[in-house]
Structure 1
């Protein structure tokens, strides 16, 4: 279960939500002040890029990281050229512009309506570790008693990254969305916010609790783990990224099926249908969906479509 975060970090675009979600007792301004300063230098990287083409349609496939540190130059060269040629941008999801709506949709699923306190779901040792982790991040554990374990786990997965300088404003989706808006390109999503939240909410309670316990146990490892994955992403090495993400995958098959494989298959079906219409589409989804076995590319190939790597 220790690789849970690795699969999670690059598989759902809602991960940055925990930084801006309405978290009782949390001072978001203080969290921002604790973040690392902006990078003074720029590092050029080359994430992987693929294309699916026929006579009148091109769909580019670009793997993203949802939170990044400043100072990484990736939106240039082949990626920028493909984006500029595209008529539209397709993301995992497009968040509502209204932050109140984001909070409303999130809280509708994150709040535990059963009346069971989160603290009562944890055994004594796990509870003590959880309370210490929350306190270390400046979060009052008692204020999370009304929430489901998955929401507390997501919150724990993001806040340490914020303090290390990771920022959703620097994430690939944000940069691509800003560029699409500036160029008046339509933006749409494969999924809605409620659907992505629902993937977590539908996990068995045992998996939610295990997720939360892993977040607590590996709190000091989250940043280095994401650093490794960002390095593999920037090097354009999906094989290494897949190996990192697939470590321990057999231990969490329900999570892998829900957050990765089933979604990859649905997106491949959508892309196949889109190939019937002329035009050029830039598809940008979490890099984990474009790496390893049962990736989006694998499902596209099963449907008889040729996927060509162009960077």
Structure 2
């Protein structure tokens, strides 16, 4: 097993920790912009990233797309494209006297797909005629007039994952229910934060230093200092919180965020549609799983994250490309890498997969004759203990889409 894979598995298996523990860190350098591989030059005001959204200077960006801006105020942008007047509804923001708007809104209106080149930190606008949307992971299973779409999520992403291919959007448009591991739009709720404090922090007066080796504790301090934080910033937290937070920190610095993850993308769309959201798990069950790891496993996972910290951003890029290509073989390799540690494999995959498959079977046997759009970490689906095989063992025909 390549140890770096262990540090990435939570990105395709567990959603809760990615939205609850990572503290704020300095923002990465400002991105640049290309239109069909041609650089857009900004004299002074460059694009910025705010809360996972890439904002660009409105006027000069529209000019680069041969769009004439006529007016922008009160969340409405008026412009002219190919001689036709268009109106865009979008939040704008004044930065240093210049009006900024989300690049996705502008790109969509002009007929481009918005992508992201992580290595060069460049926003790419690609003509839709030349772009192949990300394949991702989706399966379909039906029974008794019910249809369940099973979508494999990656819990962090960036603009380059969107737009999703039409099969995802069409299936979701017909859905009567959205199913997710947990509704991470509620991650900031006081109840969820109290759970983190109760489970993830020491309550007996001890600190992280008392529960890990001197070498591990020193390495944690070194990496925290690299991120502009105090070396004892994690003292109150257990090793599993330190591990998942460090992995999240590096992913965020690499440009990937939970706000752009596939599950949150569909949760936000469901909220707009007032679509019922079903939770296959709970914050408490996910946090409890991490908290119940043995002390040995918690430190082992933390050491793996520390040892692979310097290369984690490149490895997240590889995971992202795996999702976009919909590579079943590579996904199975990731999930199978857990089998080398029975405790980790049982808690993270085997037990949870059984619970998910049982709930999905309940939807398939419902008398509602409804369509269910289920989005859980992609790592839960494949392999002999995966949700797909569990459903096949129950007699259902599951088809890759």
For residues 167-182 of structure 1, the aligned pairs below 5 Å read: 167-182=257-272
Identify the residue that residue 237 of structure 2 maps to in structure 1: 147
- Aligned counterpart in structure 1 of residue 157 of structure 2, from 61, 68, 85: 68
More moved, 97-106 vs 301-310: 97-106
Identify the residue that residue 288 of structure 2 maps to in structure 1: 198
User: For the residues of structure 2 that align with 1:81 and 1:289, how far apart are their CA atoms?
Assistant: 23
Tell me whether 1:85 sits opposite 2:174 in the alignment: yes
Identify the residue that residue 306 of structure 2 maps to in structure 1: 216
User: For the residues of structure 2 that align with 1:213 and 1:98, how far apart are their CA atoms?
Assistant: 28
- Cα deviations across residues 5-63 of structure 1 (Å, max 9, x unaligned)? 23222110013224xx3x7xx5x2x4345686544225621112101112410000000
- Report SS of the residue matched to 1:114: coil
C-alpha distance 98-223 of structure 1, shift in aligned 2 (>3 A): closer
Identify the residue that residue 157 of structure 1 maps to in structure 2: 247
Identify the residue that residue 5 of structure 1 maps to in structure 2: 7
Tell me whether 1:107 sits opposite 2:197 in the alignment: yes
- Following TM superposition, where does structure 1 have runs of at least 4 consecutive aligned residues deviating by more than 6 angstroms? none
Q: TM-score, normalised by structure 2?
A: 0.71
User: For the residues of structure 2 that align with 1:226 and 1:159, how far apart are their CA atoms?
Assistant: 12
- Report SS of the residue matched to 2:241: helix
- Structure 2 residues not aligned, in runs of 5+: 32-48, 55-115, 117-122, 126-130
Q: How well do the aligned residues superpose, as a CA RMSD in angstroms?
A: 2.0
More moved, 227-236 vs 117-126: 117-126
Higher relative contact order (CA 8 A, sep 6+): 1
User: For the residues of structure 1 that align with 2:317 and 2:383, how far apart are their CA atoms?
Assistant: 19
Identify the residue that residue 257 of structure 1 maps to in structure 2: 346
Q: TM-score, normalised by structure 1?
A: 0.90
- Is contact 1:90–1:189 with CA below 8 Å preserved after alignment? yes
C-alpha distance 168-280 of structure 1, shift in aligned 2 (>3 A): same
More moved, 229-238 vs 89-98: 89-98
- Structure 1 residues not aligned, in runs of 5+: none
Instruction: State the 1:100 CA deviation.
Output: 2.7
C-alpha distance 106-74 of structure 1, shift in aligned 2 (>3 A): same
Tell me whether 1:31 sits opposite 2:26 in the alignment: yes
Identify the residue that residue 117 of structure 1 maps to in structure 2: 207
- Report SS of the residue matched to 2:181: strand
User: For the residues of structure 2 that align with 1:221 and 1:271, how far apart are their CA atoms?
Assistant: 37
Instruction: State the 1:98 CA deviation.
Output: 4.8
C-alpha distance 35-175 of structure 1, shift in aligned 2 (>3 A): farther
User: For the residues of structure 2 that align with 1:276 and 1:174, how far apart are their CA atoms?
Assistant: 27
User: For the residues of structure 1 that align with 2:30 and 2:172, how far apart are their CA atoms?
Assistant: 30
- Cα deviations across residues 80-127 of structure 1 (Å, max 9, x unaligned)? 111111101000001326533332121111111233321122223222
Identify the residue that residue 40 of structure 2 maps to in structure 1: none
Tell me whether 1:41 sits opposite 2:131 in the alignment: no
Tell me whether 1:232 sits opposite 2:322 in the alignment: yes
More moved, 276-285 vs 109-118: 109-118
